[in-house]
Structure formats: structure tokens, C-alpha cells
Amino acid sequence: MSREQSQLRVLIGKPGLDPHDRGAKILAVALRDAGMEVIYTGIHQTPESIAAAAVQEDVDVILLSILSGAHLPLTSRIMDSLKERGGGDIPILCGGIIPDRDIPTLKEMGVKEIFGPMTPIQTCVDYLRSNFSPRSLV
């Protein structure tokens, strides 16, 4: 299968108790419409369930939507759980309400990019297309 015929597999996760999922759903539809395969785990997911789904679905990238303010511990737990499951190489991007002061910490943890509120959807699409390809082709 050529790179053009293969879809980027993206998992969108909503870890923790944050019930605000409108943005994640809109992004899921937009990424699908842009030709990506999207797995949306739904709200109130544990870090472990997100990591398990990412590994099981063999995704190329994980997008976390976190509006609760718990982005540092939740992202850390997801990364640890991914490593335990053999998925430590799956890139993670974060979006949501993330204070500027926490961005360097997230990047040091290994988060590839952070998208704040009101980021245009096309910016996310373009970033994914420019920086990731299906892992089976890499």
C-alpha cells in the first residue's frame, strides 16, 4: 500500500473528569473529512484506557483534549501507560486549556505540540499531515 493510499490513524482521547467534548468531536469529524482515520474514545477515560486503545488500534498519533487543568498528571500517566504497553513511541499532542507556563514541561515530557483554544482546525490538520505518516510505512 502506498503512502497516498494509507490513512493516518489518529486517536482522540478525553482523559479525566472533563465532560466538555464538543471541540474533540468537531476535530474528530474534521480530521475524518481530511482523510484520516479517527478513533474517538469518548469522555471520562482513564489514562490507562487511552493508552490501551492507542496500542490496540495501532494508531500513528494521539491527540489529548484536556480542559480540566489536570494536563500534567494525566499526560504523564498516559505516557507511562503507553511505555508499559509497548507504545512509548506513539507521539502525543495536547489541546485545550493549557497555561503557557506548562507548555515547556509538557514538551520536556515528550509532547510534540500543544494547541490552545481557538486554534483553527486547519492548523491541526496541516500539522498532522506535515509531521506524521502512517507508522507502518515509516
Within a 10 A sphere around the Cβ of 119, how many other Cβ atoms? Answer: 15
CATH code where residue 108 lies: 3.40.50.280
pTM score: 0.91
pLDDT score, position 4: 44
Is residue 122 one of the residues assigned to a domain?
Answer: yes
Is residue 2 one of the residues assigned to a domain?
Answer: no
Q: Which residues pair with 12 in a beta bridge?
A: 40, 63
Q: Which residue has the higher pLDDT, 18 or 56?
A: 56
Could you tell me which of 65, 59, 67, 69 has the C-alpha nearest to residue 25?
A: 65
The pairing of strands 113-115 and 61-66 is unpaired
pLDDT (tens digit, 9 = 90+) per residue, 58-72?
A: 999 999 999 888 999
Total domains present in the chain:
1
Could you tell me which of 121, 77, 75, 125 has the C-alpha nearest to residue 98?
A: 75
Is residue 121 one of the residues assigned to a domain?
Answer: yes
Is residue 83 one of the residues assigned to a domain?
Answer: yes
- CA–CA gap between residue 101 and residue 98 (Å, rounded): 8
Is residue 85 one of the residues assigned to a domain?
Answer: yes
The domain in which residue 101 lies consists of: 9-130
pLDDT range class, residue 136, cuts 50, 70, 90? low
